[in-house]
Amino acid sequence: MSTASRRAQLSVSDILYKLLFYSTLGMFLLMVLVPLILVISASFRPLVEIYATDVYLIPKEPTIQPWIDGYEDLKPNLLNSLYIATGTVTIALVVAIPGAYAYARTSFPWKKPLFYIIILSLLFPHVLLVIPITDLWYDFGLYNTLPGVWLGHQTFVVPFAIWIMRDFFQKMPSNLEEAAQIYGCTQWSAFVRVVLPLAKPAIIAVLFLAFLNGWNDFLFANMVTDSRGPQPAVVQLYQTINGGSGEATDWQLLMSESLIIGLPPVTLYLFARRYISEAFAVSAS
């Protein structure tokens, strides 16, 4: 086979590969964008247009009333979601940072078996813990309280955070602390002034994932709280979906509330995406 024919064959295979790749990418992109566009469109429609028989994408008489009603409906629950997510992040970082550092940079008995237990806990279906934890929270007086929700979320967040940060700490140069101590730092100040700033990507990645878990979790928050307690916005969204006994679902309100709940995590991700990519790239290397 001549060189020209080989080049022609390679160019055809490259074209087919690119065609298949971009077709698949476009299909997945449409699967994400089309529902999102429909949700945004429905959130600006009046009730009459929601049940209209003709199909059109842009509302004929757009209104922001569903967004106003959705915000008013969710306002107290959004504050609860913020408190829950903030508390979940704070506890996760306080526990995971020193824990991950100990597993990565120090030696102690049973170090590897204990770390493997932490990793194995990620494989355990956490939905099975909801009922036992709810019973315990009743006994300990943590039911319907913010600390109860915060602590419950740590069953998943802390092991995952330790796993991410341990790999990040482990891939740092081994003589960082020694070099800092030569210039007068103690072990603690070397950790605070040298190691933690370098671990910023991993810390921000854990912060985002812990915030996302605390903000979006429905099952656990619904089990350990009721209408008199700190229920998050996703639980109130479930009430909107139900629509009450014998009532039709208010679709434009449901769509606007879904978008309102989704905006804070999306905004946080836009600020944190560079650090998240860096943290997972280092952990995977």
pLDDT at 246 over 60: no
Cβ atoms of 134 and 143 closer than 8 Å:
yes
Q: Which residue has the tokens 């509302």?
A: 59
Cβ atoms of 70 and 184 closer than 8 Å:
no
DSSP designation for 126: G
pLDDT at 46 over 80: yes
274 CB-side CA count, 13 A? 2
Q: Where are the alpha helices (DSSP H) in 106-199?
A: 111-123, 130-140, 146-170, 176-182, 187-190, 196-198
How do residues 176-233 score in pLDDT, each as one tens digit?
Answer: 877 887 787 887 888 888 888 888 888 998 999 999 999 998 888 888 888 888 899 9
How do residues 153-175 score in pLDDT, each as one tens digit?
Answer: 998 899 989 988 998 888 888 78
Model confidence, pTM: 0.84
Q: Tabulate helix, strand, coil % of the chain (nearest 5).
A: 80, 0, 20
Q: Distance of CA 96 to CAs 61, 101, 103, 163, Å?
A: 51, 8, 10, 9
> Could you tell me the fold of the domain covering 65-284?
MetI-like fold (1.10.3720)
Question: 5 or 56: which carries more pLDDT confidence?
Answer: 56
Cβ atoms of 150 and 86 closer than 8 Å:
no
User: Cα 222 from chain centroid?
Assistant: 18
**Predicted pLDDT at 171:** 84
How do residues 125-145 score in pLDDT, each as one tens digit?
Answer: 888 888 888 889 988 888 989
Query: Do you know the residue count of the chain?
Result: 285
Cβ atoms of 279 and 168 closer than 8 Å:
yes
pLDDT at 245 over 70: no
Q: Taking Cα atoms as reference points, which of 168, 123, 268, 125 lies closest to residue 209?
A: 268
Both tokens of residue 248? 């039709």
Domain boundaries, the chain: 3-43, 65-284
Question: 17 or 78: which carries more pLDDT confidence?
Answer: 78
pLDDT at 2 over 60: no
| Cβ within 8 Å of residue 95, ≥6 positions away | 154, 158, 161
Range with top average pLDDT, 87-96, 104-113, 245-254, 265-274: 87-96
